[in-house]
Amino acid sequence: MAAEEKPTQEWQADRYAHHAHFVPTLGQPVLELLKPRPGERILDLGCGDGVLTEKIAAAGVAVIGVDASPDMIAAAQRRGLAARVMNGAQLEFAGEFDAVFSNAALHWMKGDPDAVIAGVVRALKPGGRFVAEMGGHGCVAAIVVAMVATLERRGIGDAASAIPWYFPTVGDYRARLTRAGLVVDYIELIPRPTALPTDMAGWIEVFGQPLLKRLPATDRAAAIAEVVARLRPVLCDEQERWTGDYIRLRFAAHRPH
């Protein structure tokens, strides 16, 4: 399959709010690392439906949210936020932000992480901060293995190439930030087993589309059931509570004066 034909992730704000409301809730420590100050101008990169963008705005900040998903941006605009559709690898800002913030979005910008970081650096004022959290090396490894095994059993030989996420190590991402001209003040990989509010089938339906779309539509429900069965002994307890094997990469960097 040619690169431009790769199945892509499609976001539906209502389904996301139902199965994945933990994502912004667990973003609180990143907000604390950002320390937004009244009067600042901040970009929320990959703002989704704007739950955290709204919290940044509540600190007295002029915040702009960008996201590649029109449905998510529509949801953010319904909250009254300044939000617009934009590709994270083609940011259209120059020297205007005191900080760029991002939660749980950078791992989706897999194609060209250096272009994403270069756009952030361009968007920052001298001295401006880049504070973010994304999936880190080993994130959702059990889920990835179960999904790839399920696709391969159905004859999809290159299933691993359809994994839509970029989960870097500390060394990889620190090197990219530094090469782009940023000073890294803090960077850490944080294992964070994450209670899922619904179940693994819901998680796969929301986050696993690029992998599922490699299968005929008529086989997807059976494939989800197979992934769930593979993961049950690892990620589900006896009370039917599911835990995602999340690992975060959290960092703070700044553009020198």
Binding site for ligand BEZ (CB under 6 A): 104, 107, 135, 139-140, 165, 207, 246
Closer CB to ligand BEZ, 128 or 210, in the complex: 210
Least CB distance from residue 188 to ligand BEZ, whole Å?
Answer: 15
For residues 18 and 251, what is the distance between their CA atoms, to the nearest angstrom? 28
Nearer to ligand BEZ, 246 or 251 (CB): 246
Q: State which residue, 140 or 252, has the beta carbon closest to ligand BEZ.
A: 140
What DSSP character marks residue 163? -
What minimum distance in Å lies between the beta carbon of 248 and ligand BEZ? 7
Q: What residue spans of the chain are helical by DSSP H? A: 13-19, 22-25, 28-34, 51-57, 70-78, 113-123, 141-153, 170-179, 200-207, 209-212, 220-235
Where does residue 33 rank: exposed (0-12), middle (13-18), buried (19+ CB within 10 A)? middle
Q: Are 230 and 146 in contact (CB under 8 A)?
A: yes
Q: How far is the CB of 160 from ligand BEZ (least distance, A)?
A: 15
Residue whose CB is less far from ligand BEZ, 24 or 128: 24
Cα dihedral across residues 76, 78, 83, 86: positive or negative: positive
**Cβ nearer to ligand BEZ, comparing 81 with 247:** 247
Interatomic CA distance for residues 82 and 53, integer angstroms = 9
Q: Give the burial string for 56-81 (b: 16+ CB within 10 Å, else e).
A: bbebebebbbbbbbebbbebbeeeeb
CA distance 17 to 183: 35
Of 97 and 103, CB closest to ligand BEZ:
103
Q: How far is the CB of 23 from ligand BEZ (least distance, A)?
A: 6
The least CB distance from residue 133 to ligand BEZ, in Å, is 8
The least CB distance from residue 81 to ligand BEZ, in Å, is 21
